[in-house]
Structure 1
Amino acid sequence: MSTRYLKRFFKPRSIAVFGASEREDSMGGIVLRNLLESGFEGPLMAVNSKGYEQVNGVACYAGVAELPEMPDLAIICSPPDAVAGIVRKLGANMVKAALILTGGLSLHQSSHARALREEVREAARPYGIRILGPDCMGMLVPGSKLNASYSHVNILKGKVAYVGQSGLLGTAMIDWANGQEIGFSHFLTLGDGVDVDLPSIIDYLARDPWTHAILLQMDRVIGDARNFVSAIRSASRNKLVLVLKSNIIQDAEHKLELAPGIADPDLVYDAALRRAGVVRVETADELFNALETLSRMKPMRGERLALVCNGMGPNALATDRLLKKGGQLAQFTEETEQKLLELLPPEARIQNPVDLNADADPERFAEATRLLTKDPNVDAVLVIHAPTRLAASVETAEEVIKVARKTPRNVLTCWMGRFSAIAARNACNAAGIATFLTPEEAVNAFMHMVDYHRNQRVMRQTPAPFQQQNTPNRQRAGKLISAARESGRDYLHHSEACELLNLYEIPTANTRYADDIAGVVDCARQMGGSVAVKALHSANVYPFSYDDSAHQRWHDLALDLYSINEVRHATTKLAYRVGELYASDQMFGFAVQQMKRGFQSLQINVGITRDPVFGPLLVFGVGGYTVDVLADRNIMLPPLNLALAREMVKRSRVYRIIAENSYQVERDVDHLSGLLLRMSEMLVDLPELNTLEINPLLLNKRGLLAVDCAASVAEPGRLAISPYPEHLTEQITLKRSGRPATLRAIRGEDEPAHLEFYNRLSPESIRLRYFYSRGVPTHDELANWTQIDYDREMAFIVSAPRLDAKGYETLGVVRAVTDADNVRAEFSVVIRDDLQGEGLGIILMRKIIDYCRSRGTLELSGSTLTTNKGMQALARRLGFRISYNAEEEVVEMKMLLNEPSEDWQIYRLQQ
Structure 2
Amino acid sequence: MSTRYLKRFFKPRSIAVFGASEREDSMGGIVLRNLIDSGFEGRLMAVNSKGYEQVNGIACYSGVAELPEMPDLAIICSPPEAVAGIIRKLGANMVKAAMILTGGLSLHQSSHARSLREEVREAAGPYGIRILGPDCMGMLVPGSKMNASYSHINILKGKVAYVGQSGLLGTAMIDWANGQEIGFSHFLTLGDGVDVDLPSIIDYLARDPWTHAILVQMDRVIGDARSFVSALRSASRNKLVLVLKSNLVLQEDAPKLRTPGIPDSDVVYDAALRRAGAVRVESADELFNALETLSRMKPMRGERLALLCNGMGPNALATDRLLKNGGQLARLSEETEQQLTELLPPEARVSNPVDLNADANPERFAEVTRLLTKDPNVDAVLVIHAPTRLADSVKTAEQVISIARKTPRNVLTCWMGRYSAIAARNACNAAGIATFLTPEEAINAFLHMVDYHRNQRVMRQTPAPFLGQLVPGREQAAALIDAVPRDERDYLTHAEVSTLLNLYEIPTSRTRYAEDIPGVVDCARQMGGSVAVKALHSSNVYPFSYDETGHQRWHDLALDLYSISEVRHSTTKLAYRVNELYGNEQLFGYAVQQMKRGFQSMQINVGFTRDPVFGPLMIFGVGGYTVDVLADRNVMLPPLNLALAKEMVRSSRIYRIIAENSYQVERDVEQISGLLVSLSEMLVDIPQLKALEINPLLLNKRGLLAVDYSATVDEPGRLSISPYPEHLTEQITLKRSGRPAILRAVRGEDEPAHLEFYNQLSPESIRLRYFYSRGVPTHDELANWTQIDYDREMAFIVSAPRLDGKGYETLGVVRAVTDADNVRAEFSVVIRDDLQGEGLGIILMSKTIDYCRSRGTLELSGSTLASNKGMQALARKLGFDISYNAEEEVVEMKMQLNEPTEDWQIYRLQQ
1:68-127 per-residue CA deviation (whole Å, 9 max, x = no partner) reads 000000000011111111001000000000000000124899999962111111111111
AA aligned opposite 2:707: V
Structure 2 distance, partners of 1:360, 1:899, is 73
SS at match of 2:699: strand
Written as runs of structure 1 = structure 2, the 5 A alignment for 1:46-125 is 46-106=46-106, 115-125=115-125
Written as runs of structure 1 = structure 2, the 5 A alignment for 1:235-274 is 235-250=235-250, 252=252, 257-274=257-274
Written as runs of structure 1 = structure 2, the 5 A alignment for 1:278-293 is 278-293=278-293
SS at match of 2:370: helix
Q: Name the structure 2 match of 1:431.
A: 431
Structure 2 distance, partners of 1:744, 1:210, is 37
Q: Which moved more, 1:265-274 or 1:549-558?
A: 549-558
Structure 2 distance, partners of 1:515, 1:469, is 39
Q: Which moved more, 1:548-557 or 1:67-76?
A: 548-557
AA aligned opposite 2:648: M
Q: Name the structure 2 match of 1:789.
A: 789
Q: Name the structure 2 match of 1:128.
A: 128
Structure 1 distance, partners of 2:515, 2:427, is 81
Structure 1, unaligned runs of 5 or more: none
Cα distance change, pair 852–470 in 1 and its aligned pair in 2 (3 A)? closer
- Residues 692 and 710 of structure 1 are in contact (CA less than 8 Å); yes or no, is this contact kept in structure 2? yes
AA aligned opposite 2:22: E
- Residues 202 and 235 of structure 2 are in contact (CA less than 8 Å); yes or no, is this contact kept in structure 1? yes
Q: CA deviation at 1:469?
A: 4.4
Q: Name the structure 2 match of 1:899.
A: 899
Q: Name the structure 2 match of 1:225.
A: 225
1:670-695 per-residue CA deviation (whole Å, 9 max, x = no partner) reads 11011001000000000000000000
Determine what percentage of the aligned residue pairs are the same residue: 86
AA aligned opposite 1:747: R
SS at match of 1:384: strand
Q: Name the structure 2 match of 1:156.
A: 156
Q: Name the structure 1 match of 2:142.
A: 142
AA aligned opposite 2:539: A
SS at match of 1:588: strand
Q: CA deviation at 1:471?
A: 2.6
Q: Name the structure 2 match of 1:518.
A: 518
Structure 2 distance, partners of 1:350, 1:736, is 70
SS at match of 1:619: strand
Structure 2 distance, partners of 1:469, 1:728, is 16
Q: Name the structure 2 match of 1:703.
A: 703
Q: Name the structure 1 match of 2:489.
A: 489
Structure 2 distance, partners of 1:109, 1:524, is 67
1:576-609 per-residue CA deviation (whole Å, 9 max, x = no partner) reads 1211211111110111111112351000000110
AA aligned opposite 2:16: A
Q: Name the structure 1 match of 2:354.
A: 354
1:38-96 per-residue CA deviation (whole Å, 9 max, x = no partner) reads 11011100101111111111111000000000000000001111111100100000000
Q: Name the structure 1 match of 2:10.
A: 10
Structure 2 distance, partners of 1:654, 1:112, is 57
Q: CA deviation at 1:207?
A: 0.2
Q: Name the structure 1 match of 2:376.
A: 376
TM-score (norm 1): 0.99
Does 2:669 align with 1:669? yes
SS at match of 1:520: helix
Q: Name the structure 1 match of 2:565.
A: 565
Q: Name the structure 2 match of 1:462.
A: 462
Structure 2 distance, partners of 1:185, 1:547, is 50
Structure 2 distance, partners of 1:547, 1:849, is 54
Q: Name the structure 2 match of 1:805.
A: 805
Q: CA deviation at 1:805?
A: 1.5
SS at match of 1:692: strand
Cα distance change, pair 36–236 in 1 and its aligned pair in 2 (3 A)? same
Structure 2 distance, partners of 1:264, 1:185, is 35
SS at match of 2:727: helix
Structure 1 distance, partners of 2:62, 2:880, is 51
Structure 1 distance, partners of 2:239, 2:107, is 31
Q: CA deviation at 1:627?
A: 3.7
Cα distance change, pair 111–667 in 1 and its aligned pair in 2 (3 A)? farther
Structure 2 distance, partners of 1:802, 1:443, is 50
SS at match of 1:546: coil
Q: CA deviation at 1:628?
A: 4.0
1:821-858 per-residue CA deviation (whole Å, 9 max, x = no partner) reads 00000000011111111110001100000000000000
SS at match of 1:554: helix
Structure 2 distance, partners of 1:728, 1:790, is 12
Cα distance change, pair 653–110 in 1 and its aligned pair in 2 (3 A)? farther
SS at match of 1:826: strand
Structure 2 distance, partners of 1:541, 1:348, is 65
Q: CA deviation at 1:315?
A: 0.3
AA aligned opposite 1:169: L
Q: Name the structure 1 match of 2:505.
A: 505
Q: Name the structure 1 match of 2:578.
A: 578
SS at match of 1:23: coil
- Residues 110 and 116 of structure 2 are in contact (CA less than 8 Å); yes or no, is this contact kept in structure 1? no
SS at match of 1:495: helix
Structure 1 distance, partners of 2:25, 2:748, is 57
1:777-805 per-residue CA deviation (whole Å, 9 max, x = no partner) reads 11100100000000000000001111122
Q: Name the structure 2 match of 1:883.
A: 883
- Residues 107 and 114 of structure 1 are in contact (CA less than 8 Å); yes or no, is this contact kept in structure 2? no
SS at match of 1:36: helix
Structure 2 distance, partners of 1:626, 1:218, is 38
Structure 2 distance, partners of 1:838, 1:799, is 13
Q: CA deviation at 1:509?
A: 0.6
Structure 2, unaligned runs of 5 or more: none
The CA RMSD measured in Å over matched residues stands at 1.5
Q: Name the structure 1 match of 2:401.
A: 401
Cα distance change, pair 184–106 in 1 and its aligned pair in 2 (3 A)? farther
- Residues 544 and 629 of structure 1 are in contact (CA less than 8 Å); yes or no, is this contact kept in structure 2? no
AA aligned opposite 1:860: L
Structure 2 distance, partners of 1:248, 1:302, is 34
Q: Name the structure 2 match of 1:823.
A: 823
Q: Name the structure 2 match of 1:544.
A: 544
Q: CA deviation at 1:334?
A: 1.8
Structure 2 distance, partners of 1:427, 1:233, is 36
Written as runs of structure 1 = structure 2, the 5 A alignment for 1:302-321 is 302-321=302-321
Q: CA deviation at 1:548?
A: 7.8
Q: Name the structure 1 match of 2:42.
A: 42
SS at match of 2:257: coil
Q: Name the structure 2 match of 1:296.
A: 296
Cα distance change, pair 169–110 in 1 and its aligned pair in 2 (3 A)? farther
Q: CA deviation at 1:477?
A: 1.0
Q: Name the structure 2 match of 1:735.
A: 735
